Structure 1
Amino acid sequence: MYQRIVVAMDGSDTSSKALKEASKLAREMSSIILLLHVREEIPIMWEPDGMNMVLMQDSLIAVIDTGKELLEAHRKMLTEQDIKVETKLIETYDGRIGSVISDEAQKWNADLLVVGTHGRKGIAHLLMGSVAEAVARSASMPVLLVRNS
C-alpha cells in the first residue's frame, strides 16, 4: 500500500521513534524510505553598530554537516536492515518547515509522510508552534504522526 515513505528527521528522540514506525511499514510493504532533514537556522552575528548582520560561515557549515551526519547514520542503519533508502537535506530560510516537508514529500511522490510530534499543549504550543501540525495541514498525502510518549 505505501511504497514511498518520507520520514522527517530532526535528530530528536521523537523523530527516531517516527523512523522506527516507518521502518516497520517499509519492511512489511517492501517500501523505499526518503529521510528528509530540513535546516532553517541561519547562524548570524550582528556587527557592533547593530546595523549589519554577518553570517557565521563556520557555524553554518557545522549546522549543515550535522544534518548530513544525521542522515548518513540513519541511512546506514536502514540499509543494514535491507530497507531501501534515500536521503535529502534541504535548507530553508523562510520559517515554513512544515510546508517545506510537505512540498518535498509531494515532489518525491510519497504515499505516506511520517513525522514525530512532541505533543506540546497550551502555552508551549502557542510559543513554539508545531511543525507536525503544519505538515498535517499542508500535506497532500496521508500523514502518520508519532508521539514521543
Structure 2
Amino acid sequence: MYKRILVATDGSPLSDKAVASGLSLAALCGASIVALKVVPRYPRSYFEGSAPLNRDEVKQVEQRWSESALKELNTVKQQGSDQGVSVKCVVAKSELIAESIIATATKNNCDLIVMASHGRKGIKRVLLGSETQHVLTHSEIPVLVLR
C-alpha cells in the first residue's frame, strides 16, 4: 500500500501521537518513514522581532535549534527501530512550515504525509494559522491528519 511515509512533528504531545500512529501504519504496511521537523531561521532584523546578535551568535542559536530537532527525531528513529521500521531523519530550516513539509515529502518520494492538527478555530486559527490546512490544500500527496 504505502512505501514511504512522511511524518511531520513539532514536538508537541499531539504531534507525538501522530508519530506513534504513523510508525504503526508503517509497520503494518512494511513502509519506511521520513521523520521531519521544521525549525525556523533566526530573525535577521529588528522588523522581524530579533535582538541584535552578531553573525556567530546567530549561527550558534540556529545550531542549537537544529541539534534539538535532531535529538527529537532520533527518538522517533529509536521508536521506529523498536517496531522494525526504517526511519530517515530530516531537519528543514525554514519559516514556511507547510511548504517545507510538502517539499520534503516530494523530494523523498513519499506517498503519504502524516501530521497532527491542533484543531484551532475562530480567531486562534486566524492569528496562529493552520499549517495542516495549508498542507491539505496544497499537497498532491495524500495527507492523513490526526487529532
In structure 2, the partner of 1:130 is 130
- Which among 79, 84, 87 is matched to residue 86 of structure 2? 84
> TM-score, length-normalised on structure 1?
0.86
Structure 1 SS opposite 2:36? strand
Amino acid aligned to 1:72: N
Structure 2 SS opposite 1:87? strand
Unaligned 5+ segments in structure 2 are none
Unaligned 5+ segments in structure 1 are none
Encode CA deviations 1:22-54: one digit per residue, 9 max, x unaligned: 1121111111010011111416685xxx9x664
Q: Choose between structure 1 and 2: higher helix proportion.
A: 2
Q: Which range is displaced more, 37-46 or 98-107?
A: 37-46
Structure 2 SS opposite 1:10? coil
Q: Choose between structure 1 and 2: higher strand proportion.
A: 1
Amino acid aligned to 2:83: Q
Q: Report the Cα distance in structure 1 between the residues aligned to 2:122 and 2:41, rounded to whole angstroms.
A: 25
State the aligned residue count: 141
Structure 1 SS opposite 2:114? strand
In structure 1, the partner of 2:32 is 32
Q: Report the Cα distance in structure 2 between the residues aligned to 1:54 and 1:14, rounded to whole angstroms.
A: 36
Structure 2 SS opposite 1:145? strand
Q: Report the Cα distance in structure 1 between the residues aligned to 2:77 and 2:139, rounded to whole angstroms.
A: 24
Amino acid aligned to 1:78: G
Cα root mean square deviation, aligned: 1.9
Deviation at 1:137, TM superposition (A): 1.3
Structure 2 SS opposite 1:140? coil
Amino acid aligned to 1:98: A
Structure 1 SS opposite 2:21? helix
Deviation at 1:134, TM superposition (A): 1.1
> TM-score, length-normalised on structure 2?
0.87
Q: Report the Cα distance in structure 2 between the residues aligned to 1:22 and 1:85, rounded to whole angstroms.
A: 11
Encode CA deviations 1:113-141: one digit per residue, 9 max, x unaligned: 00111000011100000111111111111
Amino acid aligned to 1:146: L
